[in-house]
Amino acid sequence: MPRPKKQRTIEIVDQPTTKSNQKVILSLDEFEVIKHIDYEHLNQAHCAEHMHVSRTTVQRIYASARQKLALALIEKRKIEVRGGEVETVKIHQDPKFETMMIAIGIENDQIAQHFGKAEKLRLYDVSKGKIIQVRDVKDTNHLKHDRAAFLKSLGVNHILVQHMGKSMYNHFLSFGIQAVQAQSTSIEEAIRLFLEDPAVKRELNPCQICQ
């Protein structure tokens, strides 16, 4: 039985009145660092690689951005994103240029027939079409609907599946996790096809989802 959560002590302070001319200016590079680290769950080294800067530069930008966000939250200031020493690049929609954390349910060394019932998961950390890290996770505590929140906490945003019911598909989608039809029951083949062939259908059409 889980231990009950201990009550936290917080200070109640008077909320300042927001003034229209009070703004926090978040530079574009600060916004980019927040996106990579806090939204996409990249570590600082991978963030630095994406932005073509040193890790110490990322640390400095990240510290500045978090201080500004705290100021905006506490003092109820508006946030405006603009400026900074940046070079903009076109965002590719091809899977090769995305940062992804992919989860696959495994059963008998193949992709599990039912993702929600698989007790063994394989996680792929992918950046620009290349697998950076692979690790296996045994999970018997978060089956079916509990699994989406668990995977979200690990940074997973895609899952490769063989079969998935419509309600489960929508449930994972509500957590920002996209279910993708695996093109093979072989784990290695399915991940290769997903990463290397942009023509592979990435989303399950409603008619393809098991009822």
**Is there a domain that residue 14 lies in?**
no
pTM: 0.52
Least confident of 56-60, 164-168, 185-189: 164-168
* Domain of residue 187, CATH code: 3.30.420.130
pLDDT at residue number 92: 47
More confident residue, 44 or 21: 44
Position 16 pLDDT exceeds 70: no
Least confident of 37-41, 51-55, 101-105: 37-41
Q: Within this chain, do residues 106 and 59 fall inside the same structural domain, yes or no? A: no
Q: Within this chain, do residues 72 and 126 fall inside the same structural domain, yes or no? A: no
pLDDT at residue number 176: 82
Q: Within this chain, do residues 75 and 103 fall inside the same structural domain, yes or no? A: no
* Domain of residue 64, CATH code: 1.10.10
**Is there a domain that residue 46 lies in?**
yes
Mean pLDDT within 161-189: 85
Q: Within this chain, do residues 71 and 105 fall inside the same structural domain, yes or no? A: no
Q: Within this chain, do residues 201 and 109 fall inside the same structural domain, yes or no? A: yes
pLDDT digits (tens, 9 = 90+) for 191-201: 988 887 644 55
> Which element (helix H / strand E) includes 178?
strand 178-181
**Is there a domain that residue 5 lies in?**
no
pLDDT at residue number 181: 86
Structural domain harbouring 41: 23-81
Q: Within this chain, do residues 117 and 193 fall inside the same structural domain, yes or no? A: yes
Q: Within this chain, do residues 118 and 76 fall inside the same structural domain, yes or no? A: no
More confident residue, 86 or 121: 121
Number of domains in the chain: 2
Q: How confident is the model at residue 62 (pLDDT cuts 50, 70, 90)?
A: very high
